Amino acid sequence: MKHISSKKKFQFLVLVLYEFIVGFVALSLNFNTLWYLSVSWVFPTIFFLYKLHINRYRYILEALLWSIPGSLLIDWVGHYSRAWSYWDNPLFASTGVNVLGIPLESFIWGLLFWIFYVVTYEYFFDENRASNFNKKEKFLALSFAVISLIVVLLVNSYKPNIPFFYLLILLLMIFMTAISLATYRILIPRVLKFGLIVFILGLQVEFFSLKLDLWLFPEGEFVRKMLFMGYMVPIEEILWWIVVPMAVAAVHEVFADNHK
C-alpha cells in the first residue's frame, strides 16, 4: 500500500479485522442478508462518508444510478441463466418484496456494494478527490439503465440460451474499466492496486455469505469451479471481487471525480 499513510494502513487493517468480527457475529446470530449488509458495509460506509467532507449525497445518487440498472441486468439475467440462485432463499430475500420480479434485497445489495467500494477507494487511495458527478456520467448511467431494461425484455420474450453468463459479465466489467481508463492511463496502477488490496474484503464477504447460506451456484455454465473454504464456487465468483471493484473505482474516478 505504497503512498498510503501509516495511519490509513492501520485503519485498513482495522477494517479487515472488523469484517472478520462482523462475519463471526453474523454466523453466531444467523443473520439474513439485510442484517449482514448493515453491519458489514453500512457502518464502514457511514464512517467513510463522515470523513469525506465533500458532497456526500452525490455518492449516494451515483450509486443509485449505476446499481439499479446493474442489479436489473446482472441479477435478473444471472438467475435466468442459472449462474447463481438466491431469490427463493428466505435468508436472502427476507422481506418478500419484489421489484420487477427481483427481490428488493438484490437492489439494496447492489447499492451498498457500489457506494462501499467507492468510499473505500476515495478514503484510502485517492488523496486528490473532488466531487464532480457530471452530466456525462448521468447520461451513461441512464443509457445503461435503458440497455439493461431492453436486454431483460428481450431475454424474457425470446428465452435464449445464455452460456457462461458470469464470464460475460466479468468481460463487460473489464471492458468498462479499460474504456474509462484509456484516456487516463496514469490511473491504471492505482485502480489495479485498489482491486488487488480490497480483494481480501471481498473474500471475507464471500466466505461468510456462503457460511450463512445466502447464495449458491446451481446449474449455470462456468469456466470452472474451484474449492473455496470448503465450498465449490465458480472461479468467476472469486474474480468478481477483484474485477468489479476495479470497474466501480475506474468509472467513479473518471466520470465523478477529477481523474487525479
**59-70 burial by CB neighbour count: b if 16+ within 10 A, else e?**
bbebbbbbbbbb
- Residues 16-34 have pLDDT tens digits of 999 999 999 999 999 999 9
Report whether pLDDT(132) > 80: no
- What pLDDT does residue 219 have? 73
The mean pLDDT value of the chain amounts to: 88
> What is 28-68 written as a DSSP string?
HHT--HHHHHIIIIIHHHHHHHHH--S-HHHHHHHHHHHHH
Domain residue extents for the chain: 6-255
CA-to-CA distance for 49 and 47, rounded, in angstroms? Answer: 6
pLDDT tens-place string over residues 144-171: 889 999 999 999 888 898 899 999 999 9
The single-letter code of the amino acid at 1 is M
pLDDT for res 98 = 86
Give backbone dihedrals phi and psi of 55, rounded to 5 degrees, phi first. 40, 60
